[in-house]
């Protein structure tokens, strides 16, 4: 029996190991959040809700059936921040840092797991990438916390409140966790444009992709005039900027005569920009999405479905996947077999992966929506369920307010989507499909009618 277990674990793919690691991390996080000493007064929270909060923090989503500020105390806040950082940086990244600290050699298997956990396509430089990600993320969190502490000190004058609130908000925004020590996210700061701007910068930093941040740092730190950004950075930033602009435009136009009809154009534009940026995976919001029109919620659901960039703290199908889909459709409409962008040809393997991710993600999200509608017996509007499921899949954390009213089976479904969104859809597919191998033979080819 022992030999069988050794062979079983030895043959496990890196994707399955990542899946197991996150399940184990969820179990440990749930145990910690179950301790009564982390709660205000008498612990009054069901086990399913404890697991939900742990899963939300670990997957850096932000959906929660309870009020974080009213349920947990200072010790609970610290535990949740640690879990958010674990999810934002990545389990294998933190594990690697611990191995490096104790001088342990990073083997081939560990490097493959690091590659999978960070959505990389090559193992070369994996350990260096992890160290750079950690340094970059911590730097952004420290700078953000410093700004927030000063900001809240000027408002409240309470150093203890300012420290805890500022640090928690910085960690949440940078890791795109979407949690805040306010009962209504950042809605009370809807006219605090400076705070909104800093939070948006942190959300973008956590969602645009860590390799992009590292390249930008190298670009500004180098003295050489010539610096070539990678194709990943070019595609990611272009797609990210386009989605941000398109989302802002639609929200601004559709809500100018609805929720924002009595507001100035600047306030409308600022909050529309924030709403668009937070759909990348931020979760923090200055406007309650429940008050938006159905059309706006549909647009935001689509943006959350796309999610953040690969090798970031966000989920969804990822911006590069969406970009490859659009580029293929453009090339196909022009009768071209090859997909080119920025004077480079996209590999066919990446195109196949992009189509597989989009197709299966649509089926998965559709199945989740139908399942919750059936389970809840139409207790919620369809648009609310769509919004909730896409928010979980994109590890965004926005909600129209139905999270705490969901039944236990529906909460389990939402947790599954948060989990899949965090580990990455490709990693999830490979983890359930086992090791990948090509068949050693070919069948005769035959054409079929399409369209």
C-alpha to C-alpha distance for 44 and 33, rounded to whole angstroms = 12
Least Cα distance to 73 among 30, 41, 34 occurs for 41
C-alpha to C-alpha distance for 266 and 191, rounded to whole angstroms = 10
**Residue 242: per-residue pLDDT:** 94
C-alpha to C-alpha distance for 81 and 171, rounded to whole angstroms = 7
Name the stretches of the chain with pLDDT < 70: 1-18, 90-127, 223-225, 425-439, 451
**Residue 248: per-residue pLDDT:** 95
pLDDT in tens, 146-189: 999 999 999 888 898 899 999 999 999 988 888 888 878 888 88
Q: How far, in whole angstroms, is CA 260 from its chain's centroid?
A: 28
The tokens for 318 are 């990822």
**Residue 253: per-residue pLDDT:** 93
Quick check: helix, strand or coil at residue 295? helix
Quick check: helix, strand or coil at residue 46? coil
Which CA distances in Å does 54 have to 28, 288, 306, 395, 418? 9, 23, 24, 13, 11
The tokens for 421 are 């969104």
C-alpha to C-alpha distance for 84 and 250, rounded to whole angstroms = 31
C-alpha to C-alpha distance for 58 and 422, rounded to whole angstroms = 8
**Residue 304: per-residue pLDDT:** 93
User: Is-contact 165 69, C-beta < 8 A?
Assistant: no
Taking the alpha carbons at both ends of the chain, their separation in whole angstroms is 53
User: Is-contact 255 268, C-beta < 8 A?
Assistant: yes
Contacts of 301 (CB under 8 A, 6+ apart): 383, 386, 387, 390, 391
The tokens for 345 are 């040809």
What's the DSSP call for residue 443?
P
Which CA distances in Å does 424 have to 120, 130, 310, 420? 11, 17, 8, 6
C-alpha to C-alpha distance for 53 and 64, rounded to whole angstroms = 6
The tokens for 282 are 């931020």
C-alpha to C-alpha distance for 338 and 327, rounded to whole angstroms = 10
pLDDT in tens, 36-89: 888 887 777 888 999 999 999 888 888 888 888 888 988 999 999 988 888 877
Domain boundaries, the chain: 11-219+230-433
Residue with tokens 């500004």: 220
Q: How far, in whole angstroms, is CA 77 from its chain's centroid?
A: 20
Contacts of 187 (CB under 8 A, 6+ apart): 285, 286, 287, 288
Angle of the 126-156 helix axis to the 91-101 helix axis, nearest 10:
110
Give me the helices (H) in 222-261, please: 231-256
**Residue 4: per-residue pLDDT:** 46
User: Is-contact 167 81, C-beta < 8 A?
Assistant: yes
Least Cα distance to 404 among 53, 65, 57 occurs for 65
DSSP for 147-167, please give it: HHHHHHHHHH--HHHHHHHHH
């Amino acid at each position: 029996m022992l030999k069988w277990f050794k062979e079983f674990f030895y043959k496990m793919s890196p994707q399955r190991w990542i899946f197991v690691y996150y399940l184990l991390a969820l179990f440990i996080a749930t145990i910690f959040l179950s301790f009564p000493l982390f709660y205000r007064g008498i612990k009054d929270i069901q086990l399913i809700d404890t697991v939900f909060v742990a899963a939300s923090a670990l997957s850096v989503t932000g959906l929660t059936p309870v009020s974080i500020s009213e349920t947990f105390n200072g010790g609970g806040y610290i535990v949740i921040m640690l879990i958010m950082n674990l999810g934002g940086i990545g389990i294998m990244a933190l594990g690697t840092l611990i191995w490096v600290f104790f001088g342990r050699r990073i083997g081939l298997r560990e490097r493959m797991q690091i590659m999978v956990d960070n959505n990389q396509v090559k193992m070369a430089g994996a350990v260096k990438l992890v160290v750079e990600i950690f340094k970059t993320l911590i730097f952004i969190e420290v700078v953000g916390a410093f700004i927030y502490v000063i900001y809240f000190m000027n408002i409240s004058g309470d150093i203890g409140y300012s420290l805890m609130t500022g640090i928690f908000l910085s960690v949440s925004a940078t890791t795109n966790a979407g949690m805040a020590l306010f009962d209504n996210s950042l809605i009370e700061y809807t006219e605090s444009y400076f705070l909104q701007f800093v939070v948006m910068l942190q959300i973008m930093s956590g969602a645009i992709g860590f390799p992009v941040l590292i390249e930008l740092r190298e670009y500004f730190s180098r003295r050489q005039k010539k610096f070539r950004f990678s194709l990943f950075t070019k595609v990611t930033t272009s797609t990210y900027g386009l989605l941000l602009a398109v989302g802002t435009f639609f929200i601004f136009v559709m809500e100018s005569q609805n929720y924002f009809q009595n507001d100035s154009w600047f306030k409308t534009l600022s909050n529309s920009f924030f709403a668009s940026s937070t759909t990348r995976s931020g979760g923090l919001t200055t406007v309650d999405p429940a008050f938006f029109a159905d059309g706006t919620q549909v647009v935001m659901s689509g943006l959350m479905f796309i999610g953040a960039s690969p090798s970031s703290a966000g989920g969804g199908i990822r911006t590069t996947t969406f970009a490859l889909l659009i580029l293929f459709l453009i090339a196909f409409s022009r009768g071209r077999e090859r997909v080119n962008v920025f004077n480079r040809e996209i590999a066919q393997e990446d195109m196949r992966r992009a189509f597989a991710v989009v197709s299966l993600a649509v089926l998965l999200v559709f199945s989740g929506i139908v399942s919750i509608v059936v389970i809840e017996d139409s207790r919620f509007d369809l648009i609310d369920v769509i919004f909730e499921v896409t928010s979980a899949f994109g590890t965004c954390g926005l909600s129209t307010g139905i999270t705490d009213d969901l039944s236990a089976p529906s909460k389990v479904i939402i947790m599954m989507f948060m989990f899949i969104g965090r580990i990455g859809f490709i990693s999830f597919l490979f983890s359930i499909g086992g090791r990948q191998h090509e068949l050693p033979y070919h069948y005769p080819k035959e054409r079929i009618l399409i369209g």
